[in-house]
Amino acid sequence: MNKGILFILVATLSFAIMNALVKSLSDLHPIQVVFFRAMGTFVFIFPYMLYHKISLLGNNPKLLSMRAVTGLISIATFFMAIHLIPLGSAISIRYIGPIFGAILAYYFLKEQVNRWQWFSFLIAFAGVIILKGFDLRVSYWGLFLSLTSAFFLGIVFVLIRYLATKEHYLTIINYFMVISILGSFAFIQFWRWPIQDEWYAVLSIGVFGLIGQVFMTRAFSLEQASVLAPFKYMEIVYALIMGLAFFGEGYTLFSFAGIVLIITGMILNVSLKKAKS
C-alpha cells in the first residue's frame, strides 16, 4: 500500500480513538479535556524542538498566535459538541470546515472557487440540514457548537496555508499547544481531579492526538493532498463504528444519508480543485 495513504489511515484512526475517549469523559469539563489533549502533545514536541534548535517563537508571532487561538476555539467547541450529540454527527458536521476555509481564502487570499465547487458546498450543507432534520439527537445547541468548530477550523486552514511556507510545522503546532494549555486555565474553577479509569483516558487522549498529528504530517509530506483527502474521511467511518460499538449510537436511513451527502460534497470539492489545477 502507498505509504502516504497508510499513514493517513493511521492518523484518522488515532483521531477517531481520541474523539471517542473525549466522549467517554463526559463528566469532565470539555476545556479540562482540551488541557490534557494539548499537554499530551506538548511534553513530547517541546523537548524535541529544544534539542533540534527549532524556533519556538517563529517569524510571525501574531499570526501564529491567531492560528493557535482559533484552533483552541475550534477544538473546545468540538469537544463540547461531542458531549451533546452523536460522535459521528459531530465529526461529520465539523468536516465542512474546508468550506469555510475556501470561502475565507476566496476573500482574503484571492484563491479562486469555481461554480462547481460552490455546488459541492451546497451538497455538503444539504447533508447537515438533513442530518439535523432527521436525527432528533442533534440538538440546536450541539449543531451550533459543531458549526462554530467548523467555521474556526476553516480559519485555521487559511492561516496554516499562509504560514506553512514561512514557519516550521512544529512551531505552528507548539503555539497551538501552549495557548491551549494557557487558555484552558481560565476554566480551572470547573475542573476536578480525574478518578480511576479516567486517568487512562486523559493520558491516552494526548498520546493518540500526538500519533494522529505526526502521521497526518508525515502522510502529507509523502503524498499530494488531493490523493489523501478522500481517505481523511475514514475518520467519520471509524467514528460511526465506535459510536455504535461503545455508545449505542445507531443512525436512521435519513440521518445516515445526511452524513453521506456531507462526505460526498467534500470529496467532490477536492476532486474539482484537483481538476482545476
Would you list the domain boundaries of the chain? 3-276
Written as one string, the DSSP assignment of 137-156 is: TS-HHHHHHHHHHHHHHHHH
Q: What is the pLDDT of residues 168-227, one digit of tens each?
A: 989 999 999 999 999 999 999 999 999 888 999 999 998 998 898 888 877 877 776 666
Considering the entire predicted model, what is its pTM? 0.87
d(CA 41, CA 59): 22
User: CB under 8 Å to 63, separation ≥6 — which residues?
Assistant: 159, 162, 163
Count of CB atoms situated within 10 Å of the CB of 109: 12
Residue 244 grid cell:
455504535
The answer to whether 19 and 201 have CB atoms below 8 angstroms apart is no
Q: What is the pLDDT of residues 17-73, one digit of tens each?
A: 999 999 999 899 999 999 999 998 899 999 999 999 999 999 999 999 999 999 999
> Minimal CA–CA distance to 41: which of 177, 187, 152, 237?
177
